[in-house]
């Protein structure tokens, strides 16, 4: 009797807990939207009362527009030529090598590109930070734009090419026809590349001189809380601590959200909205999460710059990506396994716990690693709340980074 009551209670409570996990994306979106609106309103109000406020805003906007313009000038022609070559001229062997190479370059950490820009272009553009920032952003945009544009060009129906060749058109004329047909996809690829570049803050911090340049001393110096004596070992230990705390928060929540969305959620308008919000959060610039942590943990709660704040922000960054990856892993579990378990008299919770989740564990593990690898290179949230400057392990989770 007691076992039956416990099972009935679990059947009633667990789906609600899973539903709350799925709602975490919705709540995070509402908080981020409200925070951005409040901060933007407060910023606009201060422009009329602060000395030079409007001028400062104009300077920020002008610098952003100019750097973006330079980045587009760098990425657009080179990326378009690369996409045309891969789609229309490259052989199978070249495509097997170059296409994955573009994806690898597109996933490079922005901190690497920032230091490369400083090392290679810094001496030539020492007094032109905006130009250097634009070139660095353009280099970062280039592989992403080329990869997306190549897919857009390859998606043009082959009968369009065959019809042009049948009418006697040459290779160049056919390429012009294909480019016109793929213009919408190429424009979307450019907009996505620009949006991705504008969301990256670390590369701009480095090339404009607002981040420590570091050096070989970091490999040999002992751990220290002084910024001038930051050691590599302390940096690695701090990063591992942040990742471990973030995983403790993100993995159970993502498993619960994915389980509810795939196993319990009714198909309808609510489901589609939650899916749309999850995809939106996964594509949100990391700097938004950093602003969220800065306001909530540093200003509102008064916790200051702490390791726990950095871990929570990293967990929020991981959550939508892990949820999407875990849902894909659950979809890969054959429906026959669920049906066989239900046919034997098991309830949905028992089927989920004993059959579906164990079968989806390998896929979830791969998805967690992929999400973690992507989030590990996102330094903007940590830079905003101070966890990126962790030079020695704190004595407490709430200790200053």
Q: Could you say which DSSP state residue 352 is in?
A: I
Per-residue pLDDT band for 199 (boundaries 50, 70, 90) equals low
Q: Where in the chain is the domain with CATH 1.10.3720.10?
A: 56-213
Alpha-carbon gap, residue 166 to 202, rounded angstroms:
51
Kindly tell me if the per-residue pLDDT of 67 is higher than 70. yes
Burial bucket for residue 25 (CB in 10 Å: 0-12, 13-18, 19+)? buried
CATH number of this structure's domain 56-213, picked from the four choices 3.40.50.10800, 1.25.40.10, 1.10.3720.10, 3.30.70.2740: 1.10.3720.10
Question: Once rounded to an integer, what is the mean pLDDT over residues 26-52?
Answer: 68
Alpha-carbon gap, residue 233 to 211, rounded angstroms:
19
Query: pLDDT at position 23, please?
Result: 72
Question: For the range 347-353, what are the long-range contacts, defined as Cβ-Cβ under 8 Å and sequence gap of 24 or more?
Answer: 347/7, 347/11, 348/11, 348/263, 348/264, 349/10, 349/11, 349/14, 349/15, 352/259, 352/263
Alpha-carbon gap, residue 308 to 239, rounded angstroms:
12
Question: Is 143 within 8 Å of 105 (Cβ atoms)?
Answer: yes
Per-residue pLDDT band for 371 (boundaries 50, 70, 90) equals confident
Alpha-carbon gap, residue 286 to 105, rounded angstroms:
19
Alpha-carbon gap, residue 325 to 365, rounded angstroms:
9
pTM of the model: 0.55
Question: Is 160 within 8 Å of 34 (Cβ atoms)?
Answer: no
Query: pLDDT at position 299, please?
Result: 66
Question: Is 35 within 8 Å of 288 (Cβ atoms)?
Answer: no
Helix, strand, or coil (residue 400): strand
- Comparing CA positions, the residue from 400, 260, 253, 387 lying closest to residue 320 is 253
Q: At the topology level of CATH, where does 1-40+217-401 sit?
A: MetI-like fold (1.10.3720)
Alpha-carbon gap, residue 374 to 94, rounded angstroms:
27
Per-residue pLDDT band for 62 (boundaries 50, 70, 90) equals confident
Give the pLDDT confidence of 307-353 residue by residue, as tens digits: 677 777 778 778 887 888 888 888 888 888 888 888 888 777 788 88
pLDDT mean across residues, the chain: 72
Question: Once rounded to an integer, what is the mean pLDDT over residues 5-17?
Answer: 65
Helix, strand, or coil (residue 88): helix
H-helix segments, 284-334? 286-293, 307-331
| Alpha carbon 218 to chain centroid, angstroms | 28
Query: pLDDT at position 224, please?
Result: 47
Give the pLDDT confidence of 255-299 residue by residue, as tens digits: 888 888 887 777 767 667 777 777 776 666 666 666 676 677 666
- Comparing CA positions, the residue from 238, 218, 216 lying closest to residue 228 is 218
Question: Is 231 within 8 Å of 224 (Cβ atoms)?
Answer: yes
Total residues belonging to the chain: 401
Question: Once rounded to an integer, what is the mean pLDDT over residues 139-154?
Answer: 84
Alpha-carbon gap, residue 114 to 379, rounded angstroms:
12
Kindly tell me if the per-residue pLDDT of 218 is higher than 50. no
Give the gyration radius of the chain's Cα atoms: 25
Q: What percent of the chain has pLDDT over 90?
A: 0
Give the pLDDT confidence of 77-121 residue by residue, as tens digits: 998 998 888 888 888 888 888 877 877 777 676 667 667 766 776
């Amino acid at each position: 009797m007691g076992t039956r009551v416990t099972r009935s209670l679990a059947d009633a409570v667990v789906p609600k807990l899973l539903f709350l996990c799925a709602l975490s994306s919705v709540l995070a979106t509402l908080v981020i939207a409200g925070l951005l609106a409040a901060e933007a309103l407060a910023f606009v109000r201060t422009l009329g009362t602060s000395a030079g406020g409007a001028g400062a805003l104009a300077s920020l906007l002008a610098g952003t527009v100019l750097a973006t313009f330079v980045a587009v000038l760098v990425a657009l022609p080179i990326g378009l030529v690369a996409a045309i070559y891969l789609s229309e001229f490259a052989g199978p062997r070249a495509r097997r090598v170059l296409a994955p190479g573009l994806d690898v370059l597109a996933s490079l950490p922005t901190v690497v590109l920032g230091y490369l820009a400083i090392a290679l272009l810094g001496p030539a553009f020492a007094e032109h930070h905006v130009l250097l920032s634009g070139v660095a952003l353009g280099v970062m945009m280039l592989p992403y734009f080329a990869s997306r544009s190549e897919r857009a060009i390859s998606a043009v129906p082959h009968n369009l090419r065959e019809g042009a060749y049948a009418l006697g058109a040459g290779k160049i004329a056919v390429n012009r026809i294909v480019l016109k047909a793929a213009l919408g996809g190429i424009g979307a690829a450019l907009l996505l590349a620009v949006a991705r570049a504008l969301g990256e803050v670390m590369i701009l911090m480095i090339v404009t001189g607002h981040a420590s340049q570091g050096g070989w001393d970091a490999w040999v110096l002992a751990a220290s809380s002084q910024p001038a004596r930051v050691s590599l070992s302390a940096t690695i230990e701090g990063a591992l601590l942040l990742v471990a705390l973030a995983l403790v928060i993100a993995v159970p929540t993502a498993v619960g959200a994915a389980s509810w969305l795939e196993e319990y959620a009714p198909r309808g308008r609510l489901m589609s909205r939650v899916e749309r919000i999850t995809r939106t959060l996964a594509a949100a610039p990391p700097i938004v999460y950093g602003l969220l942590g800065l306001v909530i943990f540093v200003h509102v709660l008064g916790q200051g710059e702490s390791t726990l704040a950095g871990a929570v922000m990293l967990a929020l960054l991981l959550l939508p990506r892990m949820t999407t990856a875990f849902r894909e892993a659950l979809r890969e579990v054959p429906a026959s396994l669920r049906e066989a378990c239900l046919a034997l008299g098991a309830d949905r919770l028992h089927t989920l716990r004993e059959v579906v989740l164990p079968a989806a564990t390998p896929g979830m593990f791969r998805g967690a690693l992929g999400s973690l690898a992507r989030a590990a290179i996102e330094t903007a949230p940590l830079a905003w709340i101070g966890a990126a400057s962790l030079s020695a392990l704190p004595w407490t989770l709430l200790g200053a980074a």
